[in-house]
Amino acid sequence: MQAVAAASDKLARPAWWRVRRDLGPVLWSAFLAACVATMLFFALFDPVLLMRDDSPPKWLADRRTGYAAGFFFFWMTTTIAALLTAWLIDTRTSDDGS
């Protein structure tokens, strides 16, 4: 009976329920990982030197922009990984304990 109740709970949930629930931890853990990655990466590589040969787009020529672009790139990548993890472990089925 309880499993049925849990299942109907699931059906009764509003659309986007799972995305709404997972998004906070996903973005936050991805943010922490992106901070570490940005720090390590730019300690080793200077964004200006990285771009020297391949004529970067003008808006990327500044170090500040390089750092910010790098950070958001890492955040995007880590968010994809965290989202996929949340999706693959299928957070729906843990509800009824099975």
Partner 1 sequence: MSTPSGTVSQSLYAAQQKVYPREVSGRFARLRVIAMIALLGLFYALPWATWDGHQALLFDLPARKFYVFGLTFFPQDFFLLTVLLIIAAISLFFFTALAGRLWCGYACPQTVWTEIFMWMEQFAEGKRQQRMKLDRAPWSVEKLARKAAKQAMWIPFALFTGYTFVGYFTPIRELSASVLTLSLGGWETFWILFYGFATYGNAGYMREQVCKYMCPYARFQGAMFDRNTLVIAYDTARGDPRGSRPRGVDPKSRGLGDCIDCNICVQVCPTGIDIRKGLQMDCIACAACIDACDNVMDQMKYPRGLIKYTTQNATDKKPTRVLRPRTIIYGVLLTILVSGFAVAVATRTLVELDVLRDRNALYRTLDDGRIENVYTLRFINKDGQAHEFKLSTTDLPKGAEVDTDVSTVRVNAGQVASLPVRVRVPAGSVAGSVKFGLSAEAIDDRDVSITAKARFIAPAGS
- Residues in region 32-61 near partner 1 by CB under 8 A: 32, 42-44, 46, 53
- With CB under 8 A as the contact rule, the residue among 35, 51, 67, 83 that binds partner 1 is 67
Cα–Cα distance measured from residue 20 to residue 26, given in angstroms and rounded to the nearest whole number = 10
Q: Please provide the DSSP assignment of 52-97 as one string.
A: STT---GGG-SHHHHHHHHHHHHHHHHHHHHHHHHHHTTTTGGGGT
Nearest distance from C-beta of residue 94 to partner 1, angstroms: 7
Chain contacts with partner 1 (rule: CB under 8 A):
2-3, 5-6, 9-10, 20-21, 24-25, 28, 32, 42-44, 46, 53, 62-65, 67-68, 94-97
